[in-house]
Amino acid sequence: MYHRLRVGLLVVFCLSIGNLFGVFAQHSTDYYSLSMAGNAGNGIFAPYYLSANKHGLVTHSKSGYLRASVFKGLEMNKRFSYEFGIDLVGLMSSTSPVSYYSDGNLKTYNPGVSSFLIQQAYIGMKYRMIFISAGCRELTDEVVNFELSSGGLVWSGNARPIPQVRAGFIDFVDIPFTKGWVQIKGELAYGKFMDNDFLRDHYNYYNQYITTDALYHHKSISFRSNPDKPFVVTIGAELAAQFGGTKRYYKEGVLIDSLTMKSPTRLKDFFKILFPSSGDGQTNEGDQAYYYGNHVGQWNLSAEYRFKDNSSVRGYFEWYYDDASGMGKFNGWDGLWGLEYKSGKKNWLSNVVLEYLDMTNQSGPLNWCPSDYSDPKLDIEATGADDYYNNYFYNGWAHYGLSNGTAMAKSLLYNTDGYMRYKHNRIRGVHLGASGYIAPEWKYKILASYRTSWGTIFLPLADTQHDMSG
C-alpha cells in the first residue's frame, strides 16, 4: 500500500537576534541569542523535516516557541579552560490523542505539552586534552554531517538531550610512538532518562511493561590516521545502554503487582553496563540469561580524500547492532552507508550527502536461548529477530517518545494507540541532502528521503508502507 506524502499548510516564522551588545571573544564559541520560531499545518504532527533531528523541539503541526540562550565555550589554546551553557525554551504546541485502558475500558485523551523547557544546561572544564562535563546539552553523531544527513543510528540529535556526566578526550590526540600517524579519541558517560511523565501520559496500560527512572550509559572510541595527509581514515565503535529503573506490567488498565520489579543500580551494576555482562540473582531472568540492561551500538568507518583545490570526497558507514549477533555482523547489509562531497568553497553546490539505510535483516527471523525453555530442552541457539531499538522491558531506544537513533524509524510519539515500542524498525531508505550559496550571505539547504517499512519482526505489516519526505 503506497502512502502519498501529505503536504499541508506550513507557515514558518523565524527571528534570530544574536550578539545584541557585542561579542564575548572573536573567533570563539561564546555567544548569547534570542530566537523565535513557529509552524502551522493541517495534520496532527509536524512535517518530517521540520521535526527530524531537531533535538525534540518541534513535534506537532501547530507550535511556536521563544528561545533564550547563553553559552561560553572552551578556549582550546589554553591548558585549562571551562565552559557553560543555558538554553531555555517557552513553548506553545498542539497535542495528539492517545488511547489507554482504565479498569478494562478503552479511553482517549490529549496529554498536555510542557510550556517551559530547559533544553540545555551544563558546565564543563578541560585540562590539556581531557574534559569532563555535567548536565544536558545537544549532542550529535560525529560520523555523519548533522546538517545534511538522515541521522546517526545510535545517537542522532533527533530526541531531547539526556542529562549526563561525560568525560574523555576533547578531540583526537596522537598515540605515543606512532609519530602522529595514528590518533585516538574516546569518551564515557552516565546519565538519566527524564521522560517519566511522558511515558505515563502516553502509555496505553494494556499488555506490556512500562519502565520509569531508567539510567543511561554511553561510550565510544575512535582511531584516526594522520589528518594532515590527503587521505584520512577513521574507524570506531559506539555503545549505549538503558539500565536500572522500575518495571511495571499492566493488563487492560490493571497493574499486575506480582510482575513489578526494580532493577538494581549498585556500583557493580555500573561496571556490568560498562563491560556488558549478565545480571545476578537480584536482576530479572532476562538480564541473567542475556545481558544486564538494554544495549545498542555500532561499528563505524569513514574514509576521506582531499584534493588540492580543497574539495573532498568521503565514504562512510555505520553498522548498527542490538546484540552480539549484530556486533559480529551476522545482520547482513544492515546499517547506514553514505557518500559526501564538499567543494571547499561558498558556491552553488557546497555540500552533497547521499545515504542508503537498511535495517531489514536483523540477524534473521528467529531468536531463542537454551535457557528460554526447560521442556523441551533446546541445546542450540538462534540469535536473530533483533527487533532494532525495541526491548521487552524498556520503552524503546527513545527519549520523550522520539528516536535516539535514526528518525527514519518511526518514533513512539506517533503511536496514538499508546504502544510504547517501535512499530517500524524493519526499513529501507534513501536520503539526499544538499546545500550551497546563491549569494555570499544567502544559503539554501535541500533534504529528501524515501522510506519503505515492513513493520517489525514480531508485528509485520500486511502491506508495505512507502513514504517520501522533502
Per-residue pLDDT tens digits for 396-409: 999 999 999 999 99
Write the pLDDT tens digit of every residue in 31-57. 899 999 999 988 899 999 999 999 999
CA distances to 168, 182, 225, 449 from 174, in Å: 14, 6, 9, 38
User: Over the chain, what is the mean pLDDT?
Assistant: 91
In the 8-state DSSP scheme, what is residue 60?
B
Would you call 49 helix, strand, or coil by DSSP?
helix
Alpha carbon distance 166, 130 (integer Å):
11
Alpha carbon distance 237, 214 (integer Å):
23
Helix then strand count (H, E) for the chain reads: 5, 28
Alpha carbon distance 71, 54 (integer Å):
19
Give, for 84, the enclosing helix (H) or strand (E): strand 80-93
pTM of the model: 0.91
Residue 280's pLDDT is 83
CB count within 10 Å of CB 15 equals 10
Alpha carbon distance 232, 429 (integer Å):
28
Range name among 101-105, 250-254, 402-406, 437-441 with the lowest pLDDT average: 101-105
Alpha carbon distance 457, 460 (integer Å):
6
Would you call 3 helix, strand, or coil by DSSP?
coil
| Per-residue pLDDT band at 143 (split at 50, 70, 90) | very high
Write the pLDDT tens digit of every residue in 90-102. 999 999 999 999 8
Q: Domain coordinates of the chain in residue numbers?
A: 138-469
Range name among 62-76, 161-175, 197-211, 378-392 with the lowest pLDDT average: 378-392
The answer to whether 303 touches 315, Cβ cutoff 8 Å, is: yes
The answer to whether 390 touches 456, Cβ cutoff 8 Å, is: yes
Alpha carbon distance 186, 167 (integer Å):
9
Listed residue (448, 469, 409, 451) closest to 6, CA to CA: 469
